[in-house]
Structure 1
Amino acid sequence: MIGSGRTARHARREQLLVLLSRMQRGVLLDVERDLLRAAVDTELADAEEAHAALERARETDARRKNQIALVRDMHRPRAERRESGCVQCGIVWPCPTRRALDRETGEQP
């Protein structure tokens, strides 16, 4: 009953629906009660795993956005003469790094 992947999940949920239907009708056997508990426990574990994966993805996304912001801040025009170049690399503004970042994010230098 316990398995991974879309097919196994679908099979577990089909079994869960059958067991819930039998419980609702009052014809659930003791052995089926144990199967129902196991199916619910598996679904809860899958949900917890999915939530944890989503939280990790959000944390990774936030770290990457912070890293991009740091690089963006490093590659900025010189304040005294904008056309003189990038503070970080000295290349005429906007430098290739800043252009690449702006192209990816849709922002303007």
Structure 2
Amino acid sequence: MAAQGAESARALPTGLTVTPVTESLSLRPGDTTALVVRLANTTAGTIRGEAQLASPYGTWELLPSVIQAFTVAPGSEAEVRFPVTVPADAAELRSWALAKVMWFGRCQYAPAVPLEVTR
């Protein structure tokens, strides 16, 4: 029997809302910034987990620290910051990156953020 999946347009609440603060990244060689994701805990307990940045091959040299631990207190928000560093000799690039957030056996993906390197 094939899996049918949910018919709802919205997923069930998980207790953690994942929202990209960074909407897009347009950088030049030598630039440094961060891709930021906001986590909001709507539960009565502390949430501890790990956020991992995913992106296609060819972008990895721009993302020196793709795994970040996080803790969000009950009813609070926290930000996870992934550094982005463009080497001085970087070629032009159009790509994307997204955060995969994992906690207590759950997993949620943030929307992809456009990532562009121009000269």
Interval of TM-score (by shorter of Structure 1 and Structure 2): under 0.3
TM-score, with structure 2 as normaliser:
0.20
Q: Which has the higher contact order (CA 8 A, sep 6+)?
A: 2
Which protein has the bigger helix share? Answer: 1
TM-score, with structure 1 as normaliser:
0.21
Which protein has the bigger strand share? Answer: 2
Question: Which one has the largest radius of gyration?
Answer: 1
